[in-house]
Structure 1
């Protein structure tokens, strides 16, 4: 808990500083006149003469000197923005947060397994050395070894080091806090007694070294790293050769190599709309004629009658004396209330049943747990797969994963402000099999990695689905994600 508070504070004061400066600079930039007209003339000239050179098409419209002045002004504005952010951030930290964060850090034990290069750990040791020094001491002693590489970013160097090569304490402490946050997130540094941020060596099986051969065989990878690298390189080379050949003979299906923002870019054409299958509308009409509009609670009840998923809900108490038929009815009502977000009170007031609110809340507290829910969902999903006729449905070996934001109370420890969607909330990350069956879901914070959530769902869905490929958006795709899925024999695809 203490580290989570420290992490959130570092993130919060940095975000607040940027928002304040953005508001100030936005008001100032609106006072500059003429830029919109210049940009319009440039765009009009570029569209009107797309095949001409810049000197031929644009310079006659807007002179070269004007363009150079615009670039210089833009660069100056970036420098002004960063300088103001640093000033605002320093002011917030020095006048308020600085009194609390260093003592909080001193109560936590930070460790690093890397014995060769540990700049953040050395920086923390320097902060501890100066913890009892008068806060008015502005600079570190010239004889102190102050780590810079790996701690202070380039855009902060001028704020940390003055013209006499002295290192100022307050901006350096801010850099250390940001570097510490990043180091813990990538597990380079861990904390004593932590759960999520524990020693990364504890994540390995206890017998990893003794049974290395067995573990490598389980993920079907060679023991020799050179053989693994050679295999990956060969597959990448073969794939690029096939792509190049397809471009050459015109069999790439409309895929082209273009440029975007001056960089090479592969474009894929949109698929044409398929014709509606013959008889689909007749099938829809027949379904409506036979069953009409189904009540969701009836569907839920029939699913339990067919699969018996409520049998997976056992009590956390030592024993329970509720009759199984009564418990089944109460479980269905409580689960329906939670799943539809109606709430137990609304179910009690509107439902045609004899269950009281106290009875349903008792079932909610004693029977509905995370483990019981996962077991029930797994049973229901597996029954769905078993009921499918492969001749009609095919073999589902792929899934897609993405997250959705849900609002939540600030008292929830996972609640964070979402920079993109706005407002406080949490994220639910879903893995959906290609035939629209959700095989795994998990709760995550707004800022945590979707790559990690994607890999967790692939490994821990515990259903009968044989997933070989997973489709993600930009947030779920990264070099690290592709590397781990390659090791685990999944094909990660960016949709």
Structure 2
């Protein structure tokens, strides 16, 4: 991925995305200058994080060194930057110089679009007045939603309504009645109670995990796991139990 980045030139006219451009430049610079054995960024290095690294990777990104100072792992940081870059490329907040599909969005329109605005809007069959455009769109949406409401209402669906609601969506579903209890559930509970008594389910789960070692097949989402084995074991048990 980094070799691909080195061959591409990225651009953006929005200053909001300046941190992303700095992050890409940082990754390229460390690829060119730093040794691959250098797992963390140097102390004092400006590493843009806010608004770039997804929340699920932030905790995995930091690592304490021998002096207990927090360092940023390069591999995790690069993965976070690549994820954010993918999303920004898709909506063209950042573009690739010389590309076609991922080009500068300013190049998507003809250069004379503003000069020939009336003619271009006529070809698109859209009004020049933005208020008229939004009014027509709202009218169309209201008509289609009303038609859907009438069609569903005629089919005898009392549990479904389409109505104006301020703090939620327009489609309202009445909660269904609870499903009947499975026929064999009570039999299953009785069989468990007769064999193991009133042993809590958590204790049964813990004993099963200790005897079989089934939790050893779980692997972390990141490249490294710095949690103590006992702490990880307890967290996995709680997650499975929940």
Per the TM alignment, residue 108 of structure 1 is displaced from its structure 2 partner at its CA by 1.5
Q: Secondary structure at the match of 1:166?
A: strand
Q: Secondary structure at the match of 2:95?
A: strand
Per the TM alignment, residue 245 of structure 1 is displaced from its structure 2 partner at its CA by 5.6
Distance 2:15 2:53 in 1: 20
- 4+ residue runs of structure 1 moved beyond 4 angstroms? 241-247, 254-259, 263-266
Q: Secondary structure at the match of 1:234?
A: helix
Give the one of 119, 123, 135 matched to 1:230.
Answer: 135
Aligned to 2:167: none
Per the TM alignment, residue 173 of structure 1 is displaced from its structure 2 partner at its CA by 0.8
Give the one of 127, 136, 159 matched to 2:60.
Answer: 159
**Structure-to-structure mapping, 1:52-451, within 5 angstroms:** 101-131=1-31, 132-162=33-63, 165-244=70-149, 250=153, 252-254=154-156, 258=160
Is the contact made by 2:11 and 2:96 (CA closer than 8 Å) also made in structure 1?
A: yes
- Aligned residue pair count: 160
Q: What is the TM-score with the length of structure 1 in the denominator?
A: 0.28
Residues 198 and 232 (structure 1 numbering): CA distance in 2 closer, same or farther, change over 3 Å?
Answer: same
Aligned to 1:346: none
Q: Which has the higher contact order (CA 8 A, sep 6+)?
A: 2
Residues 257 and 206 (structure 1 numbering): CA distance in 2 closer, same or farther, change over 3 Å?
Answer: farther
Residues 104 and 225 (structure 1 numbering): CA distance in 2 closer, same or farther, change over 3 Å?
Answer: same
Q: Secondary structure at the match of 2:127?
A: coil
Residues 162 and 258 (structure 1 numbering): CA distance in 2 closer, same or farther, change over 3 Å?
Answer: farther
Residues 258 and 144 (structure 1 numbering): CA distance in 2 closer, same or farther, change over 3 Å?
Answer: farther
Per the TM alignment, residue 264 of structure 1 is displaced from its structure 2 partner at its CA by 5.3
Residues 227 and 123 (structure 1 numbering): CA distance in 2 closer, same or farther, change over 3 Å?
Answer: farther
Larger % of strand: which?
A: 1
RMSD, aligned CA = 3.2
Q: Give unmatched runs, 5+ long, in structure 2.
A: 162-170, 175-242
Distance 1:215 1:182 in 2: 30
Per the TM alignment, residue 165 of structure 1 is displaced from its structure 2 partner at its CA by 4.8
Residues 239 and 181 (structure 1 numbering): CA distance in 2 closer, same or farther, change over 3 Å?
Answer: closer
Per the TM alignment, residue 208 of structure 1 is displaced from its structure 2 partner at its CA by 1.0
Per the TM alignment, residue 205 of structure 1 is displaced from its structure 2 partner at its CA by 1.4
Per the TM alignment, residue 125 of structure 1 is displaced from its structure 2 partner at its CA by 1.6
Give per-residue Cα distances to partners, 1:46-82, cap 9 Å, x unaligned: xxxxxxxxxxxxxxxxxxxxxxxxxxxxxxxxxxxxx
Distance 1:214 1:134 in 2: 58
Distance 2:50 2:139 in 1: 36
Q: Secondary structure at the match of 1:116?
A: helix
Q: Secondary structure at the match of 1:240?
A: helix
Distance 2:97 2:73 in 1: 30
Distance 2:101 2:111 in 1: 18
Distance 2:63 2:102 in 1: 35
Q: What is the TM-score with the length of structure 2 in the denominator?
A: 0.53
Give per-residue Cα distances to partners, 1:266-311, cap 9 Å, x unaligned: 9xxxxxxxxxxxxxxxxxxxxxxxxxxxxxxxxxxxxxxxxxxxxx
Distance 2:159 2:46 in 1: 50
Residues 116 and 155 (structure 1 numbering): CA distance in 2 closer, same or farther, change over 3 Å?
Answer: closer
Q: Give unmatched runs, 5+ long, in structure 1.
A: 1-100, 267-495
Per the TM alignment, residue 244 of structure 1 is displaced from its structure 2 partner at its CA by 4.5
Residues 165 and 214 (structure 1 numbering): CA distance in 2 closer, same or farther, change over 3 Å?
Answer: farther
Per the TM alignment, residue 258 of structure 1 is displaced from its structure 2 partner at its CA by 4.9
Per the TM alignment, residue 172 of structure 1 is displaced from its structure 2 partner at its CA by 0.4
